[in-house]
């Protein structure tokens, strides 16, 4: 695999970093599609092997790499589903078109949850509470009432969570990491 | 697919930003554009849900990335570094075994929980296809003809020749046999079916699921009389000398030539007659005698309560009552219970509402009739905050 024009070893700390960060998400996604945790793990392992073997694809940022990995996982899931005979309800064509949308929906779920998790992770338990109550559909005022603080506190907490998120994941933070890495050598 | 994924990665930022109240004007516009599609709204609602997020976090914590990294390394070393074995330190091996045990126990617990509920499916897992053109024709002799499996040749019945093609049954009088007596026929539509009928006078009838129409062919005497159980839309051919009469239990509707819909299911409390065009006389029958009557103008409707025997006339938007014939389910402020009763006839499923407080939630919307029921159930679940479980794609349980 190439990152920003440079060949990356599979046993490099950089690849380990990518692997450990992306594996859980990919695994959860595959498990939701396949409804089988163990098969999902195998499939995602396989996808990482393929990812690393890819020589002609030069990943320049985190998002293209993620997107590519999603495609690998999706393809592996589809061939797995084809293997499973009890999926005979739908014709193959039908299964595939449904699969595409289902897949994109699951990607949206995965990406959204990751962002929210990152946002909460960096902050106090209160921030986590705020995000949870927001997901419950509470308005800022209702959250303020629930936690017995002012509405401005809630607004500040949310702002801080978003800022933390932006800093951590931001747009393409891996590329910064990468250029540092490459410059180092 | 790649493009779709890139879009989702961007959309995720909008959804997360929405929760954190941190969207700028441009992002807000992008989000509201995306949320214009009902499907996207449902998806967003499904994703931005506290329980779903909690569940995901638990699952996320359950995946041991560094353990998986070891698996990956081992496998790659085998393939790419033959001979150079990587030795796992003893404590690491012990840790791995412990981890495997923990995961095993966790999976066991999860699996047991899953097993307990496995006879039920969620809306996403279920697959309930729409109804289709199917009907049985009962001839004068009592012979039952299954129209779905019938080759497209015609049937002879008295002076009639009956053609069956693509969900339409059409009667034509053949001049050669005019002297033959009139025959009584019944067209029966099962749950999950619909059929269209063209009577010998040119009147067209669309029959909805779980409905039955009895009629004589040809119409003899001074009137054209048919008997309806269930729901049908009539487009009656004009004939001033021969009124067309639709009888349902306790009601008769007399017309000269017009378009209207009647819903008269035995299990429903009301018989509902909705006039689209022309003029009809709706009569309430008690022991075969006219008790009360109402004239309907276009866009008016009578509701005859079979218990109180009251008949009530009001103005309506007729499309709400005729949309089924155009391939839609359109509802305006419809209680969930009656909404589901109507939809269930078409999808041939049984619906149980296990929580009385849910029955009166109102639904407004315009849904496709020829799509899988999952679409509809998804919308109901999202818009009305109810929980739906499905058993064998056949029985639907709705709860809080």
Same-domain status, B273 and B205: yes
- A54 and A60 in contact (C-beta within 8 Å)? no
**pLDDT band at residue A92 using 50, 70 and 90 as cut-offs:** very low
pLDDT in tens, B340-388: 999 999 999 999 888 888 888 888 888 888 888 887 888 888 777 888 9
**pLDDT band at residue A61 using 50, 70 and 90 as cut-offs:** confident
Q: Which of B316, B349, B378 is the last residue of a domain?
A: B316
**What residues of A are in contact with residue B20 (Cβ under 8 Å)?**
119, 131, 134, 158-159, 161-162, 165
Same-domain status, B71 and B204: no
Give me the residue label for tokens 């999976």: B107
pLDDT in tens, B172-193: 988 777 778 889 999 999 999 9
Structure tokens at A154: 């809630």
Q: Does a structural domain hold residue B100?
A: no
Mean pLDDT for the stretch of residues A142-168: 83
Spatial separation of the C-alpha atoms in residues B41 and B310, rounded to whole Å = 42
The residue among B254, B208, B248 whose CA lies nearest residue B229 is: B248
Same-domain status, B19 and B147: no
3 state SS for A49-112: HHHHHCCCCEECCHHHHHHHHHHHHHHHHHHHHHHCCCCCCCCHHHHHHHHHHHHHHHHHHHHH
Same-domain status, B286 and B344: no
**pLDDT band at residue A28 using 50, 70 and 90 as cut-offs:** very high
pLDDT at residue A99, rounded to an integer: 64
Beta strand pairing status for B251-255 and B350-353?
Answer: unpaired
Report helix, strand or coil for B105. Answer: helix
Same-domain status, B307 and B330: no
Q: Flag if B43 and A31 touch (Cβ within 8 Å).
A: no
Average model confidence (pLDDT) across chain B: 86
Same-domain status, B211 and B141: yes
Spatial separation of the C-alpha atoms in residues B261 and A143, rounded to whole Å = 50
CA of B336 to nearest chain A CA: how many angstroms apart? Answer: 23
Judged by average pLDDT, the poorest of A55-69, A138-152, A168-182, B156-170 is: A168-182
- B180 and B161 in contact (C-beta within 8 Å)? no
Spatial separation of the C-alpha atoms in residues B86 and B307, rounded to whole Å = 83
pLDDT in tens, B64-74: 998 999 999 88
**Percent of chain A residues topping a pLDDT of 90:** 20
Q: Does a structural domain hold residue B109?
A: no
Same-domain status, B297 and B164: yes
CA of B345 to nearest chain A CA: how many angstroms apart? Answer: 22
**pLDDT band at residue A169 using 50, 70 and 90 as cut-offs:** low
Spatial separation of the C-alpha atoms in residues A107 and A67, rounded to whole Å = 9
pLDDT at residue B276, rounded to an integer: 93
pLDDT at A97 over 60: no
**Closest chain B residue by Cα to residue A45:** B72
**Closest chain A residue by Cα to residue B100:** A38
**Could you say which DSSP state residue B200 is in?**
T
- B15 and B48 in contact (C-beta within 8 Å)? yes
pLDDT at A94 over 70: no
**What residues of B are in contact with residue A31 (Cβ under 8 Å)?**
59
Parent domain of B262: 135-189+191-316
Same-domain status, B302 and B253: yes
Mean pLDDT for the stretch of residues B251-263: 91
- B307 and B269 in contact (C-beta within 8 Å)? yes
Residue A110 CA to its chain's centroid (Å): 5
Nearest to B21 among A117, A135, A140 (CB): A140
Question: Which residues have a Cβ under 8 Å from the Cβ of B103 and sit 6 or more positions away?
Answer: B62, B64
CA of A140 to nearest chain B CA: how many angstroms apart? Answer: 9
Q: Does a structural domain hold residue B103?
A: no
Report helix, strand or coil for B398. Answer: strand
Question: Which residues have a Cβ under 8 Å from the Cβ of A40 and sit 6 or more positions away?
Answer: A27, A28, A30, A31, A33, A34
Q: Supply the ipTM of this predicted assembly.
A: 0.84
pLDDT in tens, B26-69: 999 999 999 998 889 999 999 999 899 999 999 999 999 989 99
Q: Does a structural domain hold residue B377?
A: yes
Same-domain status, B366 and B389: yes
pLDDT at residue B107, rounded to an integer: 65
Domain count, chain B: 3
pLDDT at residue B252, rounded to an integer: 92
CA of A164 to nearest chain B CA: how many angstroms apart? Answer: 11
CA of B154 to nearest chain A CA: how many angstroms apart? Answer: 34
Burial B68-101 (b: 16+ CB within 10 A, else e): bbbebbeebbeeeeeeeeeeeeeeeeebbeeeee
**pLDDT band at residue A168 using 50, 70 and 90 as cut-offs:** low
Same-domain status, B175 and B308: yes
Mean pLDDT for the stretch of residues B3-30: 89
Same-domain status, B279 and B332: no
**Closest chain B residue by Cα to residue A133:** B50
Confirm whether pTM is higher than 0.80: no
Same-domain status, B150 and B249: yes
CA atoms within 13 A on the CB side of A124: 8
B278 torsion bin: left (phi>0), alpha (psi -120 to 50), beta (else)? left
**pLDDT band at residue B111 using 50, 70 and 90 as cut-offs:** low
CATH number at residue B312: 2.60.120.1440
pLDDT at residue B386, rounded to an integer: 86
Nearest to B2 among A20, A71, A112 (CB): A71
CATH number at residue B395: 3.55.50.30
pLDDT in tens, B200-230: 999 999 999 999 999 998 898 889 999 999 9
pLDDT at B245 over 90: yes
pLDDT at residue B87, rounded to an integer: 46
Q: Flag if A108 and B5 touch (Cβ within 8 Å).
A: no
Spatial separation of the C-alpha atoms in residues B147 and B162, rounded to whole Å = 11
Mean pLDDT for the stretch of residues A5-21: 84
**What residues of B are in contact with residue A67 (Cβ under 8 Å)?**
2, 5-6, 9
pLDDT at A96 over 50: no
Per the DSSP assignment, residues forming a β-bridge with B331 are: B365
Q: What is the DSSP string of B352-386?
A: EE--GGGTT-EEEEEEESSS-HHHHHHHHHHHHT-
Residue ranges of domains in chain A: 2-184
pLDDT at residue A172, rounded to an integer: 43
Q: Flag if A74 and B1 touch (Cβ within 8 Å).
A: yes
Q: Does a structural domain hold residue B104?
A: no
């Amino acid at each position: 695999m190439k990152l920003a024009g440079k060949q990356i070893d599979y046993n490099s700390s950089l690849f380990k970093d990518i692997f450990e960060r992306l594996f859980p998400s990919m695994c959860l996604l595959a498990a939701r599609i396949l409804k089988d945790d163990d098969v999902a793990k195998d499939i995602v392992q396989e996808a990482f092997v393929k990812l690393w073997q890819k020589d002609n694809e030069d990943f320049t940022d985190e998002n293209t790499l993620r997107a590519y990995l999603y495609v690998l996982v999706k393809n592996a899931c589809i061939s797995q589903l084809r293997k499973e005979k009890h999926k005979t309800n739908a014709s193959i064509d039908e299964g595939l078109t449904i699969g595409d949308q289902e897949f994109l929906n699951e990607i949206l779920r995965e990406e959204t949850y990751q962002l929210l998790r990152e946002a909460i992770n960096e902050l106090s338990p209160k921030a986590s509470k705020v995000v949870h109550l927001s997901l419950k559909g509470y308005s800022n005022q209702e959250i303020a009432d629930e936690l017995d603080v002012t509405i401005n506190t809630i607004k500040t907490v949310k702002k801080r969570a978003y800022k933390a998120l932006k800093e951590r994941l931001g747009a393409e933070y891996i590329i910064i990491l990468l250029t540092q890495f490459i410059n180092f050598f | 697919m790649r493009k779709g994924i890139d879009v989702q990665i961007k959309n995720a930022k909008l959804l997360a930003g929405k929760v954190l109240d941190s969207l700028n004007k441009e992002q807000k516009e992008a989000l509201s554009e995306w949320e214009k599609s009902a499907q996207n709204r449902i998806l967003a609602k499904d994703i931005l849900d506290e329980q779903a997020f909690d569940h995901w976090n638990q699952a996320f914590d359950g995946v041991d990335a560094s353990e998986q990294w070891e698996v990956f390394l081992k496998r790659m070393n085998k393939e790419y570094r033959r001979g150079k074995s990587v030795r796992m330190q003893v404590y690491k091996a012990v840790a791995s075994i412990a981890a495997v045990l923990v995961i095993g126990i966790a999976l066991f617990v999860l699996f047991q929980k899953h097993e307990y509920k496995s006879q039920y499916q969620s809306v996403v897992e279920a697959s309930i296809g729409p109804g289709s053109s199917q009907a049985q024709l009962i001839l004068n002799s009592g012979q039952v003809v299954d129209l779905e499996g019938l080759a497209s040749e015609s049937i002879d019945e008295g002076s009639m020749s009956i053609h069956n093609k693509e969900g339409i049954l059409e009667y034509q009088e053949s001049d050669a046999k005019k002297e033959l007596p009139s025959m009584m026929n019944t067209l029966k539509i099962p749950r999950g079916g619909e059929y269209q009928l063209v009577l010998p006078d040119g009147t067209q009838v669309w029959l909805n699921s779980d409905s039955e129409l009895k009629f004589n062919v040809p119409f003899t005497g001074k009137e054209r009389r048919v008997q309806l159980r269930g729901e049908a839309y009539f487009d009656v051919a004009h004939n001033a000398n021969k009124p067309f009469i639709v009888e349902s239990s306790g009601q008769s509707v007399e017309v000269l030539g017009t378009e209207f819909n009647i819903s008269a299911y035995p299990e429903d409390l009301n018989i509902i007659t909705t006039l689209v065009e022309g003029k009809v006389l709706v009569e309430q029958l008690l022991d075969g005698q006219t008790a009360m009557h109402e004239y309907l103008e276009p866009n008016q409707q009578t509701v005859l309560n079979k218990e109180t025997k009251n008949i009530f006339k009001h103005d309506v938007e007729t499309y709400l009552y005729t949309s089924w014939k155009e391939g839609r389910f359109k509802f305006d402020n419809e209680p969930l219970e009656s909404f589901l009763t109507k939809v269930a006839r078409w999808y041939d499923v049984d619906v149980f509402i296990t929580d009385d407080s849910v029955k009166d939630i109102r639904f407004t919307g315009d849904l496709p009739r020829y799509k899988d029921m999952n679409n509809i159930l998804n919308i109901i679940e999202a818009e009305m905050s109810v929980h739906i479980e499905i058993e064998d794609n056949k029985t639907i349980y709705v709860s809080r």
